[in-house]
Amino acid sequence: MRLNLIRTQYQNIKTKNNTKIKMPDCLILEIKDKTAYITLNRPDVYNAFNDELSYALQDALKEATRNDEVRVVVLTGAGKAFCSGQDLKDISQKENRSLRDSIDKRYNPIIKAMRTMPKPIICRLNGVAAGAGCSLALASDMVIAAENASLIEIFINVGLVLDSGSSYFLPRVVGSQKAFELATMGSKVTAAQALELGIVTKVVPAEELDAAVETVVSFYRNAPTKAVGLMKKMLNKSFNSDLDTMLEYEANCQEIAGNSDDYKEGVKAFNEKRKPAFEGK
């Protein structure tokens, strides 16, 4: 049933820029200037996840991945928050719900789609990111945060454990001891602290957030997208590989990059002493 709905939503998509994709009201997807802007849109509950939002985000990520017009993705939340995690009020109304089933069908596909997408994902952290919302930020390639933003692994407060990839990303960013503290004590991390810990890339005043995000997005929408995507795959693979494996993988990826149109343009521009005009191919 859901697949038929997705097909109906996407069948009339235009291929030009400045296109607002028809999605459920809980999520806004707009493609503009080679960029997919994905906005979680449940501001009345701080963009907490219910079933509809989690599936809508999966669909939006699939569209951003397959759409050749898209060179970079911006993920943010409407209103004051980025994402407050699971909507506990919504879940409490559903008896005998399997959390394992929910994670397998709703959250894990989101995180996998983010990490395998061959395009950069920039998190516009406009407010609190809690629980699965924190995992979304950690799964992004870069995080630009407003000064009033914060992150919290809130699972412990309701007797649950980390999910949506937090147990994977968090210790790799902050180290095992700090990750243990943040996970088991549910310690709130301010934007300034997150910058120190390496969780976010940059912190700016709230009124400067859009400009700061646009600076990064402008770079990536004009970058050699195939090379960026290959480097994302390489860095992901390096977490669980040894040096010999990565040397071999680098050679394979370099062969692919070397056959791209962007590589040819880059060399040509270098020899002609001009700025390259990459097309992401």
Q: In this predicted model, which residue has the larger pLDDT, 52 or 96?
A: 52
Percent with pLDDT over 70 in the chain: 92
Q: Which pLDDT tens digit goes with each residue over 147-203?
A: 999 999 999 998 999 999 999 999 999 999 999 999 999 999 999 999 999 999 999
CB within 8 Å of 226: residues ≥ 6 apart: 118, 256, 257, 260, 262, 280, 281
Q: What is the mean pLDDT of residues 41-69?
A: 96
Q: Which pLDDT tens digit goes with each residue over 109-149?
A: 999 999 999 999 999 999 999 999 999 999 999 999 999 99
Q: Which pLDDT tens digit goes with each residue over 25-37?
A: 999 999 999 999 9
Nearest-5° Cα angle at 134, 20 to 118: 55
Mean pLDDT over all residues of the chain?
91
Element (H, E) at 30: strand 27-32
- Hey, which residues does 36 pair with through a beta bridge? 31, 73
Hunting for tokens 């993988």 — which residue is that? 249
CB within 8 Å of 157: residues ≥ 6 apart: 186
Provide the 8-state DSSP code for 106: I
| pLDDT at 9 exceeding the cut of 70 | no
Give one DSSP letter per residue of 108-126, joined into a string. Answer: HHHHHHHHH-SS-EEEEE-
**Alpha carbons 107 and 105: distance in angstroms, whole number:** 6
Q: What is the mean pLDDT of residues 74-87?
A: 95
> CA 159 → CA 43, 90, 168, distances in Å?
25, 17, 19
Q: What is the pLDDT of residue 112?
A: 97
**Alpha carbons 158 and 95: distance in angstroms, whole number:** 17
**Alpha carbons 123 and 70: distance in angstroms, whole number:** 16
Q: How big, in percent rounded to 5, are the helix, strand and coil portions of the chain?
A: 50, 15, 30
